[in-house]
Structure 1
Amino acid sequence: MAMASEAIVKVKEIQKGSQEGRKQWGLWCDTRGNGVRDPSKHTPEFLEEFVAQYNAGGRLESPAPEKVETLAELVKTGQRNSHHWQQAWTLYCQRFGHGVNDPYKHNSAFLVGFMDFLAYRGCMAMYGSVLDAGYNYWDWNESYDPRKDSLVQKIKAMQRSNEEAKRQWWQFCDNRQGGIRDPTRHDVRVLQEFLNEQGSS
């Protein structure tokens, strides 16, 4: 119960802190929480996941206005033609859609959220395959921000060469960044803050 209360407080603080915070919570609920925006109606895990991604700089984009019927039919087409798509949709609805599998009973934001989820996971899977095959000509984690990419590479190099530095990075992420240890998922401010604390710039 205490964990749930703490998570609710964190979400409310984000909402009160800025208009962007309120917007992001709304989008998070629309795409993953079936449009339910009352924090007390969600699990602690759902709330903590939002807090972690928000604090790490992750932002959701407002979906382009699309007719629900068009998006729902796209989901239906995927279900009819792909067993894996159907399985992914079912699991997604169980976790984020209160077990409601009928795409016509969800809003457009939820349907777009599912497609974005598949695209993100697909990129991660292909990125892993590229590395396994030994090809590095396509960097899926490249941010196109030279400064950020440089900081990310520094932190990765520190982790590879120094076990203590790796432990420090993990501790920094666990205690202050919601447990997100992938440096590519943090913004420049967070990366630079860690390096400054380590005496590296």
Structure 2
Amino acid sequence: MTTAKDLFIIAMDPGAGQSVGQGDLSLALAGAELIDLIVAEAVVVDNDRIVPQGPPAPDDGLAAEAAAGLTRQAPYEKIEDWLWRRGRDLSAAYQAALEKDGELIRRRSGSSPLGPRRVEPADTPARRRAVSRWEEREPLLSALAAAVGIGAERPDDGPGLTDEAATAVVAAVHDAVMELEAVRQRRSIESAAFANLWRGV
């Protein structure tokens, strides 16, 4: 799952300069997995439905898990539904898998040996590949990263997405991230109102 792993590595890279929420990243990773499945010709997108095409050739455990989770009976699954279902805790799954493979390392923050540890990509071929795609402004990776607020300020003068299915997936990721943010804001307002009620404000 090249795009999904590359997206996770870019999100974890201190050079990204922005912190990404776990929920947002999980939705984008689910979208990246779906795009990887489209590229592998394991699925096609028919309108907004994900239609499996045949047995894929997974290259790792997460790829196999994603492929095994496809709905293989009509009317098939909507892209949006896939994002929410597959995306549940997906960033944590990627972190665990990449740490196990030595792609992520834990470093102490600051100069104190007792400071909190942060996770960041190790200097591996996978990180160099992800950074290369990022620096070249590869359209798929850039679009998915922008959906979660990474590199949103990057100039929009590079080549855009040309594949209709990939464009549909990226659009669905944007919508899902916006929906998640709306839920967060609503909960924040409700929590503030409840706190004010107890304080008698």
TM over 0.5: no
Higher helix fraction (1 or 2): 1
Higher strand fraction (1 or 2): 2
Scaled by the length of structure 2, the TM-score of the pair is: 0.25
